[in-house]
Amino acid sequence: MKIRKGFVSNSSSTAFICLVCGATESGMDMGIEDAEMAECKKGHVFCQSHSPTLTNDEKVAWYLEYDKDLSEEERKEILENPDDIDEHISRDYGISELLYSYPKCPICSMESFTDTELLRFMLAESNISLKELEAKVRGKFNSFDEFIKFLEEKEKN
């Protein structure tokens, strides 16, 4: 258990980290819309600038799936007027609801990869465990600076 000394606030601090570019936004009582980010159904968080553009049909599909309480008449009206979907979303939920369950994801669609997933792939492809890789790095380099210098040289090429 952590024991804190000094001032402790009851306000909640939130942080969002983009899995595409690594940008971080944080603040007190911040929502994903405030951070200009979005999150897919699988929990991948990404900057709105990385969000694939949604067609009206995709927004309609999200809306109909998201709002299970729509009457048949409301569903029919939305399907017949897909160009009005932004008004429905804004009026009934606000853009933040869409951003918390964004139907298209640059990671799920394999447009972008997280460093962690790429590392996992390389380890699996090379048939080596993370512990074995760490031991290999420790055996090859005498210092962290030497290791970083090696990486920077490789990245230049």
Task: Sort 85 into a burial class: Cβ within 10 Å, 0-12 / 13-18 / 19+.
Answer: buried
Beta strands in 3-125 (DSSP E): 13-17, 24-28, 37-39, 45-47
Contact of 63 with 90, CB cutoff 8 Å: no
Say which DSSP state 50 is in: G
Please identify which residue in the block is written with the tokens 């970083």: 148
Are 97 and 36 within 8 A, CB to CB? Answer: no
Encode 112-136: b = buried (16+ Cβ within 10 Å), e = exposed: beeeeeeeeeeeeeeeeeeeeeeee
pLDDT band at 10 (very low <50, low <70, confident <90, very high): low
Tell which residue, 151, 10, 148, 37, has the closest CA to residue 102.
37
Stretch 9-25: mean pLDDT: 83
Cα-based torsion angle of the residue sequence 119, 108, 19, 137 in order, rounded to the nearest 10 degrees = 0
Tell me if residue 32 falls in helix, strand or coil. Answer: coil
pTM (predicted TM-score) = 0.66
Question: Mean of the pLDDT values across residues 35-64?
Answer: 90
pLDDT of 3 strictly over 80: no
Residue that wins the pLDDT comparison between 98 and 10: 98
pLDDT beyond 60 at 9: no
